[in-house]
Structure 1
Amino acid sequence: MKKLILSLAIVAIALTSCKSEKKVETKEEVKVEEKVTDPINSYNVNVAESSISWKGDKKVGDAHNGVIGLEKGLFDIENGVLKAGEFVINMNSISCLDLEGKKKASLEGHLKNKDFFDVEKFPTAKFVVASSEVKEGKLHITGNLTIKDVTKSITIPATLTENGNDITLKSEKFNVDRTDFGVKYGSGKFFESLKDKAINDLIEFSFDLKARK
């Protein structure tokens, strides 16, 4: 019986490890063939109704989650196809939802300082759509993500819903390796002595964007 319990525990740990290592592959910046050229006829993101969610954790221990606001965004859609788009993220708006009071302020301040996103120097991040295609009923958006002046290409699974002049663009959860963008604080990849105190390199993101033409 003990052997069975031990075996099940090992399997569970293995599955958890596989899941935690699943991430969006970052590649070199890709060329953007089409850009939003006519803002009047494009879909403008309602920043008050849109959100980007994040989740981060340590190798052992705490996990935290929160949201980041958009500064602006717009995109072009032709015949139900996402042709172009650009979204500017307000990094000063990073907030934690699972803490309150001094702990909340402390974590948010740390995320904003030079250890992490250095929002005084880099107040915005950006995602520019390069292309999109439908695979197995899902929309896959490839674009250039820029954080701290480092730009990498990523592909994000999402769904696009049209309702008259209203659009909802909602992603699935996806993981990005923060160290690909120069955010190395607490990374076991660069500071092996941290061991169990290391902060995971992968940050989980998802977004829910509302826009109107």
Structure 2
Amino acid sequence: MKNLKTIALALFVAVASISVNAQTKKIDAKASTIKWVGKKVTGEHSGTVNFKDGAVVFKGKKLVGGTFTVNMTTLTATDLTGEYQQKLDGHLKADDFFGTDKFPTATLVIKKIGAKAKDVYAVTADLTIKGITKPVNFELAVKGNTATTAFKVDRTKYDIKYGSGNFFQGLGDKTIYDDFELAVALKF
């Protein structure tokens, strides 16, 4: 009986320490950033989009999860100004691209994390854009209260085919490449 009580107590302490070690940290949506670059045959455009909210989950110092929501209505080009910026912003928010009236948010949910190096993780996540969820893979570096990553997304997997040379012929120098690049910095 004494051994059973000792085992039960040890099990309780182990479970309690795991629960205590699991910590969810909300991101600071205003201080966290998402920068994007979209390229075409004749050049590129770059800009930003803002987080709505999000959180990372740690067990001790090890990253074990995270969920993020992006406010797609904040999508804007930063390489243009005035009328040209307004036109591009409007087109990116239109149904040809992200359809922000119907789909005002995008989400990323971490599904699998593996250690790549000290404070660097190999992440598999579900990315949902325009109501379509597809897996993405990227490396995430964590240092202090910041996590950073850069990765590419194939827009055509989310039914964003406008100007894609893989779906339309004869576009010439109007072709827009399928991948767009994201550089993300999370502050928590």
TM-score normalised by the chain length of structure 2? 0.84
Secondary structure at 2:110's aligned position in 1? strand
Residue aligning to 1:170: 148
Residue aligning to 1:154: 136
Give the number of the structure with larger relative contact order, counting CA–CA contacts within 8 Å between residues 6 or more apart: 1
Matched, 1:120 2:101: yes
Structure 1 alignment gaps of length 5 or more? 1-40
Opposite residue 193 of structure 1, the aligned amino acid is G
Instruction: State which drifts further: 147-156 or 128-137.
Output: 128-137
Matched, 1:107 2:88: yes
- Using the TM superposition, give the Cα deviation of residue 155 of structure 1 relative to its aligned residue in structure 2, in angstroms: 1.2
- Using the TM superposition, give the Cα deviation of residue 193 of structure 1 relative to its aligned residue in structure 2, in angstroms: 1.7
Give the Cα separation in 2 of the matches to 1:93 and 1:159: 25
* CA shift in 2, pair 1:84/1:136, >3 Å: closer
Root-mean-square deviation over aligned CA pairs = 1.4
Secondary structure at 1:201's aligned position in 2? strand
**Greater C-alpha radius of gyration:** 2
Residue aligning to 2:76: 95
Give the Cα separation in 2 of the matches to 1:104 and 1:62: 15
Q: How do 1:137-148 residues align onto structure 2 when only pairs under 5 Å count?
A: 137=118, 138-148=120-130
Deviations 1:65-98 (A, max 9, x none): 0111000001210122221211000000001111
Q: How many residues align?
A: 166
Opposite residue 126 of structure 2, the aligned amino acid is N
* Aligned match for 2:175, one of 179, 186, 198: 198
Asked if the contact 1:69/1:94 (under 8 Å) is kept, the reply is yes
Structure 1 stretches of 4+ moved >6 Å: none
Deviations 1:167-186 (A, max 9, x none): 21111x21111001110001
Structure 2 alignment gaps of length 5 or more? 1-22
Deviations 1:156-197 (A, max 9, x none): 1120112xxxx21111x2111100111000101000121332
Matched, 1:72 2:72: no
More strand by proportion, 1 or 2? 2
TM-score normalised by the chain length of structure 1? 0.75
Percent of aligned pairs sharing the same letter: 36
